[in-house]
Structure 1
Amino acid sequence: MRTVLLAGGGTGGHVMPAIAVGEELKKAGFNIIFGGGSGMEKRIAENYKIPFFGVQNVRFSRRNILENVKIPILLGKGISQAKKVLNEYKTAAVFAKGGYASLPWALAAKSLNIPVVCHESDLSMGLSNKLISRFAKKTLTSFPETKGGICIGNPIRGEIFSGSKERARKKYGFSGEILLILGGSQGAAAINKCVFQSAKALTGISEVVHITGKCTEAPDMKGYHHIEYADDIADLYAAAHTVVTRGGAGALAEISSLGKRMIVIPLPKSRYSRGDQVENAEYYMKNGRCRIIFEQQLAVSELVRAVESERKLPLGKVSDAHSAKKAADIIAEVISRELDY
């Protein structure tokens, strides 16, 4: 049985699509392992019973350029660690999902002449994928406008399409449809603060389920349900009439493919972000799939007004499936073909 290593990490957007591809590769008879760094990818991979290996990774710092002096040494260490794993498992191919955690694995694979296939979820390509795409056998993208790759859509786990609102209601104790608010896999302080301040008004419109990330300040009131992290997001999607989210490409693809009303509060361009979430959100807005509230405009009145407006829209006319349900199948097939050449 040939082994494929999934490489990625740091955020859910670099992990969950890789998991989706892994599911399809398993169906095709491949053995799957996951390579990342020290982030949430370890917990997620283990939840899916995929063997996980973490190595030293590096991250380009926009805040302190001097920190980048350490990159060559740390990257070299990560590559050396990754090569040991790739050799031990006689890895046939590496699927690199982007993000800094995928870079040591892709470079290690290159040094061992192991084929690499990479995928970019965002509208603009991130730094790691820009480097990896130079030697990857295939570079795939989610958006047709992304330069340097072939657009196949964003890989989405099959379970996303089989969520149960009844299961969610039983677990969390709400009764009807919900307003689902996502802070992203790492939480979002600005969104959380605004939701806390507007909780009373929002619960007057609908019951609210708010996924915050690590948080100790959530209000305690009827109709407001606070969760730090949800492993049953498909069930919550099924129960939602509207979803408030950051602008990560993975979340946008999932919510859009389910035809949910969507309010996007993208992470702004700053020393923490290259502005990819703004680009993603604007693409969806131009195609009639979401409403945007830019973070600098985020206020209680703006959020409540947006939720009230979206609530009036019929679900069926809000969105269609932007990201093909078969993207994960396509990537698995691409990897299989590369190994057959």
Structure 2
Amino acid sequence: MTAPLILLTAGGTGGHLFPAEALANVLKAQGCRVALATDKRANAYAGSFPADEIVEIPSATPSGRSVPQMAKAALLLAQGTLKAATLVRGMKPDAVVGFGGYPTVPPVIAASLLKVPTVIHEANGVMGRANRLLARRATLIATGFADIKGIPAKVPGQVIQTGNPIRPAVLEAAKTPYPALSAGDPFRLLVTGGSQGARVMSDVVPPAIELLPEEIRSRLVITQQARGEDLERVRAHYQRLGVAFEAEPFFKDLPQRIADAHLVISRSGASTVAELAVIGRPSILVPLPGSLDQDQAANARTLADIGAAILCPQSDFTPERLANEIRSYCQQPERLTQAAAAAHSASITDAAERLAKAVLQLVPANHNGISP
């Protein structure tokens, strides 16, 4: 009897790849073979991905408003589906698991057409457009949150909550107790805009720090993720203020940096929210504005509603507002400790194991996959 082969597919950003990586680790530990189908953006993250094979599948996001743009996207998705069908026929996976983003569309459609069991995982509080497109083809829909919006009515597959799978590095970082802040202690502030960075953080956070009184500013130790084009101005601003800081486009050890922080200022992607909960850290969350689904706002509310985070719409995210929030936390540091405990109360640490169990229940007993 051969080991089951599970084909994972995810869009090429950290928010999609990180939960796929977490599931891959659990599947490998249980003796499965794992392959990954993604897009070219994944090169920045896929180097350590625990897959036996990584395949690039053509895809596009049909978000353009012009007919030529939409036609080009449709053509790329069709080409991707043909390539994915060839891939699925050749690999004969026992199940295909999609983690969202349009690069998942071709492999999941191909698997569905070829009668391979399919699972889609929705990490956000609102189902994304790619997953909505695939929902009626899924054998199983797994969700990160208990109550998510946007699942089409009467989907044929079962819907279960597994939570959002967490990478081993996050589980390791979660072993670090919250570093309670006392008067006069260094105040460790982590600023991140998600795996692709966010300009608004570079626009707002350094000016907010400048507005703080010197007795607070002198205590700050800032770690900030900034996009390459924003990096030098962020560094120059902090150097001028004389604050202790580290600014880089990407931190490979971000989970541990979350664990070391007293306060995290961030976007509210699903992986970020899940990691803040598992590690148990207070946050100020600034959802990505303008998205059709408002999924990041829904994610942020899951922590804001229990007192674990401050939800700050980007329209309200000004240097003055942020400086006031930081000053308030410095004056009442017990609020940080309370928010950290609240965040941890929302954690699901075994989501990857739950998802792996659900996927493997769909695997045929003989593990022989589809017929060519």
Work out whether the TM-score is over 0.5: yes
Query: Which amino acid in the other structure matches residue 282 of structure 1?
Result: R
After superposition, the Cα gap between the structure-2 partners of 1:130 and 1:58, relative to the gap in structure 1 and judged at 3 Å, is same
Structure 2 matches for 1:249-268, cutoff 5 A?
249-268=270-289
Counterpart secondary structure, 1:140: strand
Segment of structure 1 superposing worse, 191-200 or 298-307: 191-200
Matched ranges for 1:50-199 at <5 A:
50=51, 51-61=53-63, 64=66, 67-147=69-149, 148=151, 149-163=159-173, 178-199=188-209
**Which whole-Å CA distance do the structure 2 matches of 1:288 and 1:36 have between them?**
36
Tell me the TM-score normalised to structure 2 length: 0.82
Secondary structure in structure 2 of the residue aligned to 1:266: coil
Instruction: String of CA shifts for 1:87-132, please: whole Å, max 9, x gaps.
Output: 3322221110011111111111112221111110111111111122
CA–CA distance in 2 between the matches of 1:73 and 1:62?
Answer: 13
1:327–1:234 Cα change, 3 Å: same
Tell me how far apart the structure 1 counterparts of residues 63 and 80 of structure 2 sit (CA, whole Å): 17
Matching residue of 2:328: 309
Cα distance, 1:268 vs structure 2: 1.0
- Counterpart in the other structure of 1:276: 295
Question: Is 2:338 the partner of 1:336?
Answer: no
- Give ranges in structure 2 of 5+ residues lacking alignment: 152-158, 177-184, 366-372
| Cα shift at 1:210 | 0.2
For 1:118, the aligned partner's letter is I
- Cα distance change of structure 1 residues 267 and 105 upon mapping to structure 2, 3 Å threshold: same
Residue 259 of structure 1 deviates from its aligned partner by: 1.5
Match of 1:287 in 2: 306
The residue type paired with residue 42 of structure 1 is N
CA contact (8 A) 1:42 1:52 kept: no
Question: What does the per-residue CA deviation read over 1:3-50, in whole Å, with 9 as the maximum and x for residues that have no partner?
Answer: 2111111421111011111111101111111111121x2331222353
Equivalent position amino acid for 2:206 in 1: F
Q: Who is 2:260 aligned against?
A: 239
Q: 1:177 and 1:92 mapped to 2: Cα distance?
A: 50
Structure-2 separation of matches of 1:150 and 1:310? 38
- The residue that corresponds to 2:224 in the other structure is 210
Return the alpha-carbon distance in structure 1 between the equivalents of residues 79 and 362 of structure 2: 28
Name the SS of the counterpart of 2:296 in structure 1: helix
Structure having the higher Rg: 2
The secondary structure found in structure 1 opposite 2:108 is helix
CA distance 1:331–1:207, change in 2 (3 Å): same
Q: 1:81 to 1:321 in 2, by over 3 A?
A: farther
- SS of corresponding position for 2:363: helix
Count of aligned positions: 330
Where does structure 1 lack aligned partners over 5 or more consecutive residues? 167-174
RMSD between aligned residues: 2.3
AA in 2 matched with 1:241 = H
CA–CA distance in structure 1, aligned partners of residues 308 and 67 of structure 2: 37
Q: Which amino acid aligns with 2:363?
A: L
**Cα gap change, 1:320/1:164 in structure 2, threshold over 3 Å: closer, same or farther?**
closer
In structure 2, give the amino acid aligned to 1:264: L
For residue 326 of structure 1, what is the aligned residue in structure 2?
350
User: Which amino acid in 1 is paired with 2:244?
Assistant: G
Cα offset, 1:177, TM superposition: 5.5
Once the two structures are TM-superposed, the CA of residue 165 in structure 1 deviates from its matched residue by 10
Aligned mate of 2:318, from 278, 299, 322: 299
Query: Residue 19 of structure 2: which of 17, 21, 28 is its match?
Result: 17
